[in-house]
Amino acid sequence: MYVDPSIFTIDTAFQRNDFDAAYLIVEQGRAAFIDCGTGLAVPAMLAALERAGCTPEQVDWLVLTHVHLDHAGGAGLLMQQLPNATLVVHPRGAPHMIDPTRLVAGATEVYGAEEIARSYGPVLPVPAARIVIAEDGHRVDLAGRSLLCLDTPGHARHHLCVWDERSRSLFTGDTFGLSYRELDSARGAFIVPTSSPVQFDPEPLKQSIARLLALEPQAVYLTHYGRVEDIPALAADLIEQIDAMVEIGRQCDERPDRHRCLVSALTALYLERAQAHGCRLDDAAVERILAMDIELNAQGLACWLDRDRR
C-alpha cells in the first residue's frame, strides 16, 4: 500500500527504541508536528526536522493528541525552539499546557518522582498566547492541507485524534491502542487497548474507535508504535479486548488482592491473544514487552472501577 512520503515517524527514544513515536508532516515547505514526546526528545524532534529539509522557522503547528507526558511533556521546551509555531490542544488539555503543575503531580503519583526525573526531563509551560484550543471539528490548515481534529474520549477526556484526508490517515495517540512491531506476525499487527490511569472509560472509548473506523482510513499512526494497516480487523480486536477487560475488572473488583488479580488476568488475556495471532516471540518475551502496559492497564481499570462505583 502507498505510504505518504510527506509523513515522517520520529522515534522519541522514550523508555526504549520503537516504543514512543511523534510525527512530522511536511506540506509545501511548511511543517506540523503531531505529539512531541518528553522534554528529552526535543533533540530528536529537531533532528527529524533537519532530515526532512526543514528549519524550525518552517514549523507552523504542534498538535497534541492529549497531554500525557509521553505525548506532550516536551511541548513547552520544543515550542521555545519553534518561533512561528502554534500549539493545538483539546480544551481540557489546554490549562495543563499553560500550567503543567497538576499534570506533573498526577504523573508523579503514578510513576514516582525518581522516574519522572529520569525519563521525562523538564516540563515547561506554553504561553497562552501561543495556544489554539481545538474543539471537535477544528481544522488545522497546513499550507492548504487540512488536518481535522476529532474529540475522541475513552483513553482520556482530553484526547483528540487527527484526520489527514490527503493521505487518508489517522494520528490516534492512544485512542486506537498500542501495537509494537516486535509482536507483528504473518497476520499483521498485534494490537492492545491502553487503559492507563486515570480517565479510562470503556464505552466512550469504543464509540471513539467506531467513529475513527467510519472514516475508512487507509492507515493509522500510533504513538506506540508506528504505522498500521488493516484497520477494520484491528478495530474489531480492540472492541473485543475492551469488553474482555471490563469483564476482568468486574471479576477482580471485590477481591482483596484486586491489583494482583487484574495484572494476572490481563497478562493471561494478552498472552492468549498473542499466541492466537501467531506472534513469533515466546510468552516470556511477549510479557516482557507488554509489562509496563499491563501494569498501567491494571491501574486504569482500577480507577474506572472506583469511579464507576461512585
Give me the percent of the chain exceeding a pLDDT of 70. Answer: 99
User: Taking 90 as the threshold, does the pLDDT of residue 3 lie above it?
Assistant: no
The domain in which residue 141 lies consists of: 7-175
**Is residue 1 included in any domain, yes or no?**
no
Note the pTM of the prediction, 2 decimals. Answer: 0.95
Same domain for 129 and 277, yes or no, is no
Same domain for 118 and 246, yes or no, is no
Residue 242 CB burial class (10 angstroms; 0-12, 13-18, ≥19): buried
**Is residue 290 included in any domain, yes or no?**
yes
Q: Look at residues 129, 159, 175 and tell me which one is the last residue of a structural domain.
A: 175
CA 93 to CA 36: how far, in whole Å?
15
**Is residue 180 included in any domain, yes or no?**
no
221 — alpha (psi -120 to 50), left (phi > 0) or beta? beta
Q: Tell the residue number behind the cell numbers 498500542, with chain if given.
A: 178
Q: What is the dihedral of CA 227, 230, 236, 242, to 10 degrees?
A: -10
Give me the percent of the chain exceeding a pLDDT of 90. Answer: 89
CA 153 to CA 20: how far, in whole Å?
20
Same domain for 166 and 254, yes or no, is no
Q: Look at residues 175, 206, 228 and tell me which one is the last residue of a structural domain.
A: 175
CA 199 to CA 190: how far, in whole Å?
24
**Is residue 277 included in any domain, yes or no?**
yes
Q: What is the arithmetic mean of pLDDT over 236-249? A: 98
**Is residue 196 included in any domain, yes or no?**
no
Q: How many domains does the chain have?
A: 2
pLDDT digits (tens, 9 = 90+) for 220-238: 999 999 999 999 999 999 9
- The pLDDT of residue 1 is 56
Same domain for 54 and 143, yes or no, is yes
Q: What is the arithmetic mean of pLDDT over 9-37? A: 97
- The pLDDT of residue 310 is 66
pLDDT digits (tens, 9 = 90+) for 249-283: 999 998 999 999 999 999 999 999 999 999 999 99
Q: String of b and e for 148-180 (b: at least 16 CB within 10 Å)? A: bbbbbbbbbbbbbbbbbebbebbbbbbbbbbbb
pLDDT digits (tens, 9 = 90+) for 85-113: 999 999 999 999 999 998 888 878 877 88
Query: Around Cβ 76, how many Cβ atoms within 10 Å?
Result: 22
**Is residue 200 included in any domain, yes or no?**
no
- The pLDDT of residue 2 is 66
pLDDT digits (tens, 9 = 90+) for 6-15: 999 999 999 9
DSSP percent split of the chain into helix, strand, coil, nearest 5: 45, 20, 35
Contacts 24+ apart (CB under 8 A), 3-7: 3/219, 3/227, 4/166, 4/167, 4/169, 6/167, 7/164, 7/167, 7/169, 7/221
Radius of gyration, alpha carbons of the chain: 19
Report whether 63 contacts 162 (CB < 8 A): yes
Considering the chain, what is the average pLDDT of its residues?
Answer: 96
> What secondary structure, in 3-state letters, does 193-245 show?
CCCCCCCCCHHHHHHHHHHHHCCCCCEEEECCCEEECCHHHHHHHHHHHHHHH
Cell of residue 56, nine digits: 524550525
Q: Which residue has the higher pLDDT, 106 or 26?
A: 26
